[in-house]
Amino acid sequence: MKDTKIYNLVKKEEKRQKEGVELIPSENYASAEIRKVLSSYLVNKYSEGYPKKRYYGGNENVDDVEVLAQERAKKLFRVPFANVQPYSGSPANLAVYLATCQPGDAIMGQSLTAGGHLTHGHFVSATGIFYKSYQYGLKSKTGSDLFDYDQIKQLVKEHKPKLIWVGATAYPLIIHYEKFARIADEAGAYLAADIAHVAGLIAGGVHPSPVPYVHIITTTTHKTLRGPRGAMIMVTAKGLKKDPDLGDKVNKAVFPGLQGGPHDNQTAGIAVALFEASQPSFKKYARQIVSNSKVLAKVLIDGGLCLVGGGSENHLLLVDLSPTLGPGSGIFAQKALDMVGLTLNKNTVPEEPMSPFYPSGIRLGTPASTTRGMKEKEMKFIGETMLEVINLLKIYRLPAEKEKRKDYIARFDKEMKNNKTIKELRKKVRKFALRFPIP
Ligand code: DSN
């Protein structure tokens, strides 16, 4: 007996991925080897505990898998400790709180609307509910470094956080970890770098590593690192110097603190991803991601769009659409671009005048398209197609009255679906995308 409903949905998703261009900067294509390992017999095993210290028998192979993943992580990122069990980024980050803080302690992170992450202390997240969270923003949309170090320093002085986060989900420029370290060290705080977005760029040598400056590093494994969904927590030599038990505390926080049995198939997939990321071809891939991102940024800027940070130095672009389409217009761009097969996400921009649900920007990036072999020439096609779509949207404005928005957007959807240019561009993008197979 076969579950045809799910089977058909999986086939439909495969078609969507093949016929479109993935521009969401946190997505990527895991290799066929990784997908194979994910569906291997490892999926059947329970392994609570750590290698050689398990609660169940039959873990001799799983132990070797997990040790290999740990060793590869340590070698690739040049750290003395790695835990590869977190189910994903959010539980990994929560484990860091558990390892370093008591409930109610002051913590600090970049606010979500300024490009941070929910788990860096947002008030709706457990990290903002169980800890006393103070959030920092960005000082402007332009310049070579958008962080307001004076504000961060002042907040740290005032609130004495025990843990400070550095790392963003929507920041298009290089992050200068040493500047955060100066502030955190002066205050005696733990500094944790969440490198989820740039892990692959760090591994590939095209983004500075936080290792000399921070105590703890967390990362997901499925973004630029191009592995399966999952996460890791690493402790640096600086972290072990501050607290020699920090590795043990991280281990205890992950299991039994937060999780049960690790997903062994995922651990094996992470090990394969780390192997792939240590190959010379990965360095080439990382360089191409950044080069593609820079070209795409130039096409969009030349086409009149306003890019936060004035361009891109990593894998990501953040477009402020408010000068072009008005405040709250991210939703129009996301929907219309999705209709032509260019998938990206609406996003808040620094000094966001609207809300995370109706933000004024879009966020996009090049990790996935680069995996498919797209280069500078293809970025020009993508950028020009985006400009053509955005040009069609200039007649729309998000109503200021909240109660009018639903109907307005429904009308927008209908008009876009019937738009001749959108239909033609959809055909063009499909033909273009099919030239670049996905792994
Ligand atoms: N969902 C991730 C991203 O898109 O950046 C963050 O967790």
Place 412 in a pLDDT band, splitting at 50, 70 and 90: very high
Q: How far is the CA of 26 from the centre of ligand 1 (A)?
A: 6
Asked if residue 361 is part of any domain, the answer here is yes
- For tokens 């892990």, the residue is 199
Closest residue by Cα to residue 85 from 211, 275, 265, 274: 265
Residues forming the active site: 46, 48, 194, 220, 223, 229
Where does a domain end: 211, 246, 277? Answer: 277
Cα distances (Å, whole numbers) of residue 207 to 168, 198, 215, 228, 377: 14, 7, 18, 22, 24
Where does a domain end: 244, 277, 310? Answer: 277
Q: What is the pLDDT of residues 231-261, one digit of tens each?
A: 999 999 999 999 999 999 999 999 999 999 9
- The partner residues of 218 in beta bridges, in order of sequence, read 194, 233
Q: How far is the CA of 255 from the centre of ligand 1 (A)?
A: 24
Q: What is the pLDDT of residues 255-313, one digit of tens each?
A: 999 999 999 999 999 999 999 999 999 999 999 999 999 999 999 999 999 999 999 99
Asked if residue 176 is part of any domain, the answer here is yes
Using DSSP bridges, classify how beta strands 190-194 and 361-365 pair: parallel, antiparallel or unpaired.
unpaired
Mean pLDDT across the stretch 183-202?
A: 98
Quick one: pLDDT at residue 141?
A: 79
Percent of the chain with pLDDT over 70: 100
Asked if residue 20 is part of any domain, the answer here is no
List the structure tokens of 168.
Answer: 């963003």
Q: How many whole angstroms separate alpha carbon 38 and alpha carbon 36?
A: 5
Which residues touch 58 (CB under 8 Å, ≥6 apart)? Answer: 45
Q: What is the pLDDT of residues 343-352, one digit of tens each?
A: 999 999 998 9
Cα distances (Å, whole numbers) of residue 54 to 45, 58, 64, 255, 261: 12, 9, 13, 11, 10
Q: How many whole angstroms separate alpha carbon 295 and alpha carbon 375?
A: 9
Amino acid present at 159: H
Cβ pair 116, 169 in contact under 8 A? yes
401 and 341, same structural domain? yes
Place 208 in a pLDDT band, splitting at 50, 70 and 90: very high
167 and 307, same structural domain? no
For residues 1 and 411, the model is more confident at 411
Q: Report the nearest-CA residue for atom 6 of ligand 1.
A: 169
365 and 339, same structural domain? yes
Quick one: pLDDT at residue 30?
A: 98
Q: Which of 27, 28, 197, 343 to mutate to test the pocket of ligand 1 (most atoms within 8 A of CB)?
A: 197
303 and 202, same structural domain? no
Where does a domain end: 277, 303, 321? Answer: 277
Q: Report the nearest-CA residue for atom 5 of ligand 1.
A: 169
- Gap between the terminal Cα atoms of the chain: 29
For residues 141 and 22, the model is more confident at 22
Q: 338 is in which domain, residue-wise?
A: 287-433
- Ligand 1 is surrounded, with C-beta below 6 A, by 26, 89, 117, 169
Cα distances (Å, whole numbers) of residue 220 to 230, 273, 413: 6, 12, 34
- For tokens 């670049």, the residue is 436
For the chain, what is the domain count?
A: 2
Secondary element (H or E) of residue 312: none
Q: Report the nearest-CA residue for atom 1 of ligand 1.
A: 26
187 and 136, same structural domain? yes
236 and 173, same structural domain? yes
Q: Could you identify the atom of ligand 1 that is nearest to the CA of residue 170?
A: 5
198 and 56, same structural domain? yes
Q: How many whole angstroms separate alpha carbon 26 and alpha carbon 364?
A: 9
Q: Strand, helix or coil at 368?
A: helix
Closest residue by Cα to residue 271 from 28, 91, 439, 30: 30
174 and 50, same structural domain? yes
Q: What is the pLDDT of residues 82-122, one digit of tens each?
A: 999 999 999 999 999 999 999 999 999 999 999 999 999 99
Amino acid present at 70: Q
Asked if residue 429 is part of any domain, the answer here is yes
Closest residue by Cα to residue 98 from 262, 256, 250: 250
Q: How far is the CA of 290 from the centre of ligand 1 (A)?
A: 19
340 and 194, same structural domain? no
Domain CATH code at residue 337: 3.90.1150.10
Q: Report the nearest-CA residue for atom 3 of ligand 1.
A: 26
